[in-house]
Amino acid sequence: MIPVKGYAAPQAKIPLGPFKFERREVGPHDVQIEIQYCGVCHSDIHQVRDEWGGSIFPMVPGHEIVGKITKVGDHVTKFKVGGLAGVGCFVDSCRTCPSCLAGLEQYCDVGMIGTYNGRDKEGHPTYGGYSNQIVVDENYVLHVSDKLPLAGVAPLLCAGITTWSPLQEWKVGKGHKLGVVGLGGLGHMAVKLGASLGAEVTVLSTSATKKVDAEKLGAHHFVVTSDPEQVKAVQGTFDFIINTISAQHEYNFYLQLLKLDGTMILVGVPPEAPQVSAFNLIMKRRRLAGSLIGGIKETQEMLDYCAEHGITSDVEVINIDYINEAYERMIKGDVRYRFVIDMASL
């Protein structure tokens, strides 16, 4: 077994602290990665606090992983020692169901195996990227460009693909008005990617102080949702809204901003179930949809697109012992725009 250092939550709602554990030896199809950076996703907070139910403790969160390949198994063909690699939100799936065969492993009929807070095929708990080493089957590992700053690439593995996938699925681009609700980790990537694909992007935020940043990130317009005049001006105007809000909120408020046949895509996962008024949907044939991260093939396409277009996340790099404070700041919406842990601080 391989000894690993990490940070774990011992129980729900208890602060994270140092934790030692072991990972499997590198098998014939495995890649061992020395983790250099790991992004901090709001899903880490939801799961550490057991807000979605069923959390497994101790929990080593982290699914925005980048680092250097230090060992590969005998049958590995896609990766070489010394190269850069990434790991996102899942490390395995059944590989045989229609979703897996279509490259949509995140929608696996049996259930994808989460990078953390999951169980592998032997039933052992999976541990994530707040750690210095990880071993993953090569089919679930991504190639990472050495042309981009690595800390800024880490968040692409979740925040990037989670916003890229719906933009691709709904073919969002030139001629579309795109609303991005919530300017955090996912939101700021939705702005960068949506603008890069040619959409006219409006950020809808509770934080007036984020206006200047929104424009720097590529947004064309900014609406403070507490200002009724600004909200009225965008009623019935959006083709698409990507909703990234992590906490309970009023879905009807945002649905009214869609035009005829407009679609609001939920990516944020507040723990509480929302109430939706049928009138808000039927009066303009609006659609309410959801989207979960992205498959391995699409994640690689997104990483390649970002490398080609020089797109990375705007990050605040932190030492791992700052993680509990980072969570508190994220809950207040005070992140610009992704915390990324420098694993050298472990």
Given candidates 94, 292, 317, 318, which one binds Zn ion under the rule CB under 5 A?
Answer: 94
Beta bridge partners of 38: 65, 341
Q: Which does 210 bind (CB under 5 to 8 A by kind): ligand NAP, Zn ion, none?
A: ligand NAP
Q: How far is the CB of 25 from ligand NAP (least distance, A)?
A: 31
Q: Which does 6 bind (CB under 5 to 8 A by kind): ligand NAP, Zn ion, none?
A: none
Asked if residue 163 binds Zn ion (CB under 5 A), the reply is no
Report which DSSP code applies to 254: H
Judged by beta carbon distances under 5 to 8 A according to partner kind, the member of Zn ion, ligand NAP, none in contact with residue 108 is Zn ion
Q: In the complex, what is the shortest distance from the CB of residue 299 to ligand NAP, in angstroms, rounded to a whole number?
A: 12
* CA nearest to 137, candidates 107, 159, 115: 115
- Give 16 or 186: the residue with its C-beta nearer to ligand NAP: 186
Q: Between the CA of residue 227 and those of 18, 28, 96, 247, what are the distances in Å? A: 44, 58, 50, 20
CB of 253 to ligand NAP, least distance (A): 10
Tell me: does residue 313 bind Zn ion (CB under 5 A). no
Q: Based on CB atoms, which residue is closest to ligand NAP, 79 or 240?
A: 240
Task: Say if residues 344 and 150 touch (Cβ distance below 8 Å).
Answer: no
Contact 340, 316 (CB under 8 A): yes
Select the binding partner of residue 163 from ligand NAP, Zn ion, none (C-beta < 5 to 8 A, by kind). none
Give the residue with the Cβ less far from ligand NAP, 79 or 268: 268
Q: Which is nearer to ligand NAP, 29 or 211 (CB)?
A: 211
* Closer residue to ligand NAP, CB minimum distance, 106 or 133: 106
- Nearer to ligand NAP (CB atom), residue 132 or residue 205: 205
Phi-psi region of 239 (alpha: psi -120 to 50; beta: other; left: phi over 0): alpha
Residues that bind ligand NAP (CB under 6 A): 41-43, 46, 158-159, 162, 182-187, 205-207, 210, 244-247, 249, 267-269, 291-293, 330, 333, 335
* Alpha carbon distances (Å) from 25 to 4, 19, 30, 123, 214: 12, 19, 9, 16, 45
When CB distances are held under 5 to 8 angstroms depending on the partner's kind, the choice from Zn ion, ligand NAP, none that residue 93 binds is Zn ion
Alpha helices, DSSP H, located in the chain: 42-48, 98-101, 150-153, 159-169, 185-196, 211-217, 228-232, 251-255, 278-282, 296-309, 323-331
- Choose the one of Zn ion, ligand NAP, none that binds residue 186, judging by a C-beta under 5 to 8 angstroms depending on kind: ligand NAP
DSSP for residue 317: E
Q: Measured from the CB of residue 26, what is the shortest distance to ligand NAP in angstroms? A: 29
Q: Applying CB under 5 A, does 246 fall inside the site for Zn ion?
A: no
The least CB distance from residue 235 to ligand NAP, in Å, is 18
At closest approach, how far in Å is the CB of 4 from Zn ion? 21
CB 204 within 8 A of CB 256: no
Our CB check for ligand NAP shows the closer of 31 and 335 to be 335
Q: Which two tokens stand for residue 78?
A: 């896609």
Spatial CA neighbour of 72 closest among 110, 25, 116, 6: 25
Nearest Cα to 242, choosing from 264, 226, 213?
A: 264
Judged by DSSP in three states, 326 sits in: helix
Q: What is the DSSP letter of 284?
A: T
Q: Which helix (H) or strand (E) segment is 8 a member of?
A: strand 2-8
Binding flag, residue 158, Zn ion (CB under 5 A): yes
Chosen residue from 56, 97, 276, 318 binding Zn ion by CB under 5 A: 97
Q: Which of 115, 107, 100 is nearest to 47 (CA)?
A: 115
The contact set with Zn ion (CB under 5 A) reads 41, 43, 93-94, 97, 100, 108, 158
